[in-house]
Amino acid sequence: MHRPAFRAILSTIILVILAGAAASAYASTISGTIYDSKKNGLPYVEIELQNDRYVMIQHATTDGIGRYTFDGLADGTYYVKVLPFRYDMDEQTQEVIISTVSAVAGSGGNAYMIQDFYLTPRKGTLAAAQAEVVVAQEIPKAAKEQYDAAAKLLKKGKTDEAIPLLEGSLKDFPTYFLANDALGQIYFHKNDFEHAAARLLTASQVYDKSPMTLYMLGVSLGHLNYLPASIIALNSAATLAPESSMVHLALGKTFLSTKDYKAAETSLLNAKKYSKTPSGELYQMLARVYKATKQYSKAAASLESMLKNGNYSDDAKAALKKEIQEYKAKAAANNEKPNDD
């Protein structure tokens, strides 16, 4: 073999070896499932992966049965932080240490670390109130069997397979609360608010003390632009779960749509009060209220809090900073005093 050809082949082999060594240094995974207190997996939960200095390095959202995954991790100390904004549950942070041994000197190995979370509802919130819901009905055997089969599929994340079973259950027993509620929640999470509202309305007529049912009904009606009915349902949910930031946020958004800015501000400030970590959406809604009422200093302060407490792309940060400066300029023109959110 000619020496140049040999050297080219050797160089290629070395590059492959080095690439493999580099990959092995970042081959570990942290994965797990987010559960509620009844061991139901929670979908759409926001999760941050932080380094040993508590700086976010990855972001994830749980899938339909509550699972999350962070890949490509080197040895080190990490913190997995769960932010259950939509569930009114306490945040949790767990430390995960990855320490591996590799055959390649100077590089890490690979590990699959499992870190599950069991979240608990905050007192007075939607989740806490929902945990107390007990509905007593005499259910025909055929309807119950179909509902039970659907419930098992839902726990496995097989939503589409559960739908015909729930519909069959309701054909046998149209006022079955659990079947109506489960089907309504499925459609709600699919953003099919028309079908969600129909099922959730039936469920709430059978039993009017389920705060989650009323909350989802209110949000669905709001999306369908039935705003007075939405406010009635959400106010009922707020009565049952008075410290639910989720319910107050939904109420604030609905009042904002009706241009009742005073009621919107009250609801949004309640949402902020009862939220351990206010969401960017909440600050954004407050800014809209203050813009509409020409309280530009408060609008700027709300967006500054949004910027401070969230993780955004460079373009999003630039847009927020520009909007903040515009509000500050209007506040100065109106001789408003600076406001601290």
Most confident of the following: 63-72, 79-88, 107-116: 63-72
Average of per-residue pLDDT across 19-36 = 72
pLDDT value, residue 86: 73
- Between 203 and 22, the higher pLDDT residue: 203
- 156 Cβ contact partners less than 8 Å away, ≥ 6 residues apart: 65
Between CA 147 and CA 149 the distance in angstroms is 5
Amino acid at 72: G
Instruction: Encode pLDDT of 136-172 as tens digits.
Output: 899 999 999 999 999 999 888 889 999 999 999 999 9
Q: What is the pLDDT, as a whole number, of residue 89?
A: 80
Other C-beta atoms within 10 Å of 262: how many?
10
pLDDT band at 2 (very low <50, low <70, confident <90, very high): low
Is residue 275 within 8 Å of 309, Cβ to Cβ? no
What's the whole-model pTM score?
0.71
Identify whether the C-beta of residue 170 lies closer than 8 Å to the C-beta of residue 186. Answer: no
Contact by Cβ (8 Å): 48, 83? yes
Residue 221 clears pLDDT 90, i.e. is over it: yes
Q: Residue 24: what pLDDT?
A: 47
Sign of the C-alpha dihedral, residues 206, 208, 209, 210?
positive
pLDDT digits (tens, 9 = 90+) for 237-252: 999 999 899 899 999 9
pLDDT value of position 20: 47
CA dihedral 207, 208, 214, 220 (to 10 degrees): 70
State the pLDDT at residue 108: 56
Q: What is the pLDDT of residue 321?
A: 94
| Domains, the chain | 27-120 (2.60.40.10), 128-277 (1.25.40.10)
pLDDT digits (tens, 9 = 90+) for 189-208: 999 999 999 999 999 999 99
Tell me what the mean pLDDT of segment 288-294 comes to. Answer: 96
Read off the pLDDT band of 48 (50, 70, 90).
very high
Is it the case that residue 21 has pLDDT exceeding 60? no
- Residue 110: the pLDDT is 81
Work out the mean pLDDT of the chain and round it to a whole number. 87
**Rounded Cα distance, 222 and 193, in Å:** 9
At 266-286, the pLDDT tens digits run 999 999 998 877 888 999 999
State the pLDDT at residue 151.
92
Alpha helices per DSSP H over the chain: 3-25, 126-130, 141-155, 159-172, 177-189, 193-206, 211-223, 227-240, 245-257, 261-274, 280-292, 296-309, 314-333
The CA distances from residue 191 to 157, 186, 196, 197, 232, in Å, are 17, 9, 8, 11, 21
Dihedral sign computed on CA atoms, order 166, 223, 44, 190? positive
Predicted pLDDT at 3: 55
| Residue 199, C-beta contacts closer than 8 angstroms, at least 6 positions apart | 180, 181, 183, 184, 187
pLDDT at residue 109, as a whole number: 67
Predicted pLDDT of residue 101? 65
CA pair distance 299, 112, nearest whole angstrom? 45
Average pLDDT over residues 281-304: 95
Q: What is the pLDDT of residue 275?
A: 85
Per-residue pLDDT, averaged over 111-137, amounts to: 83
What is the pLDDT confidence band of residue 5, given thresholds at 50, 70 and 90?
A: low
CA angle, residues 80, 65, 115, in degrees to nearest 5? 25
